[in-house]
A and B are shown apart, each in its own frame.
Chain A
Amino acid sequence: MRYLMMSHPTGEPTNPNLEAEMGAWIEELTAAGVLLSAGGMAPTGIEVSESDGEVTVTDGPFAEAKESVAGFALVEVRSEEEVVEIARRFVKMVGNSRSVIQRVFT
């Protein structure tokens, strides 16, 4: 089962060693064969929407920080419980963070 984990900041990260720990976390999950792809994302974005035939293109930044995605991880796991455990460790490591997990159909 494949899942996309999207990480949303909910405040300032509380972990001073975040960079090093994040590196180790990615390394460990890759070694375990769980992590297929991951990346950090720019805080601003562009929104393209359609309504009643009208397409609108809006430049970021987003009105609310919680709408922006700071990073993503695409993982391949045995079960939903496994991806929740991985996300649990991730938000614990980052601090002030919210992860949204959605299954990717393959």
Chain B
Amino acid sequence: MGSHGQGLTPPHSAKPVKARRVLPGFGITMGLTLTYLGIIVLLPLAALILKSAEIGIDGFWQVLSSPRVLASFQLTFTAALIATLINAAYGLLMAWILVRYDFPGKRFVDALVDLPFALPTAVAGVALTTLFAGTGWYGQWLEPAGIQVVYTITGVAIAMAFTSVPFVIRTVQPVLETLDSQIEEASVTLGAYPFTIFRRVILPMIAPAYLTGCALAFARSLGEFGAVIFIAGNLPFKTEIAALLIFIRLEEFDYPAASAIAAVLLALAFIILFATNALQARWLRRREASS
């Protein structure tokens, strides 16, 4: 499957010529690719599944259905959803501004976007906690106003939003860049209002990439650990994320239980990514058929 945005080349080049092979020997390159993927990605995941299989279906179910684990899943999903919604809005806005406007310091802002990827997430967690704590820059204003961020789900969502925002921006940005501004100009001459242009012209074009970015951000948020544990407060049933529960089960030397919780996160992330990919492929096929 092609990477995101690949199929969005203008219609006149829609029928690709049979790709010339730059690397010699399809057999070798494909073999290397699969071997590497197998060793680095598939085997560890298989080991994880095997480990969680040690306790059998009953044990697996017992681990996952315990109220504390369920509560941690609920918190993790809710916070990840909030974070994704925030990023869906702001990520799109930032991508738009970075592509369509020129302003001083644009390169700096563009580089800033990648910072959450480069920074150790634990550092982000400590920094965010320091800012939002009652004694911090933001917290000293928020807390008297009755807005408690640290040690609540709000804090968890903010930490997740921090670590996952580049996904949305970086997937939408290249697609926006390749958009043909002539289509927009044509819409304007046909009398369309800006919002209509956005909704009927731009959004459908960027939708596949946008969706992928949001899905990646959501999957990333589900697994975020470093940034969250500092700001969450880690109260069982209230602000204990699933990833921390995995950590706790490991501290108890309960490997199968830890693997069982991890397997659920893994399966979910995989399903989300797979579904987005499938949806994206269908979208592109429909677009190509209609053009």
Q: Do A and B bind each other?
A: no
